[in-house]
Amino acid sequence: MQNLKESDAISLSAPFPYVLVTSLDEKERPNAMGVAWVTRTSFEPFLIMISIDRRRYSHQGIQMHKEFVVNYPNIDQADAALICGTKSGRDGDKIKLAGLKLVDSVAVKVPTIEGVTVAFECKVVDQFETGDHTVFVGKVVGTSGNPEKSKHLYVSSKFKLFGMEGDADSA
């Protein structure tokens, strides 16, 4: 074992799943941001948490409407997904810019991204500050997806997006 710089240690722990979190802004316009800090955190109730920098435009929307959707983009959506992780909805409609389409969610007002491998619709049940981010804890109230598009996105240590297979029985 050797001592490592923080940045090297983080690189060695890659890859990370890469999701698009959809939300509504104060005028109820949909937005989508790229998020790598996402994890399931309880079986029952089914909870997912995301860690969001307080400066993100999405942060205010999630805080206001208390809903978000965690979308796992499929491999064919990589270019669009990167746009959502590098541009801000504060400056315009990046969903349109990225060429992504939205569909109604089952149980929340926030829309789901069409064609994603899987989407988890969440209602915020808790939130807390953690250093320079806010953790939003979402109770999953609806799920949808495309099992035939099972290869979804991960981010490598070099910030490159790539696809890996899920293993749903129906895929």
Ligand X SMILES: Cc1cc2nc3c(=O)[nH]c(=O)nc-3n(C[C@H](O)[C@H](O)[C@H](O)COP(=O)(O)O)c2cc1C
> Which amino acid is it at 86?
T
Measured from the CB atom, is 42 or 130 closer to ligand X? 130
Find the shortest distance in angstroms from Cβ 140 to ligand X. 18
Among 11, 41, 42, 86, binds ligand X (CB under 6 A): 86
31-70 footprint of ligand X as x/- string (CB under 6 A): x-xxxxx-------------xxx--xxx------------
Find the shortest distance in angstroms from Cβ 44 to ligand X. 25
* CA 117/CA 120 separation, integer angstroms: 10
| CA separation, residue 85 to residues 1, 42, 89, 95 (Å) | 34, 26, 10, 11
User: Is 61:124 a contact under the CB 8 Å cutoff?
Assistant: no
Three-state DSSP state, 131 = coil
* CA 167/CA 144 separation, integer angstroms: 15
Find the shortest distance in angstroms from Cβ 129 to ligand X. 13
Name the residues that contact ligand X, by CB under 6 A: 18, 31, 33-37, 51-53, 56-58, 85-90, 155, 159
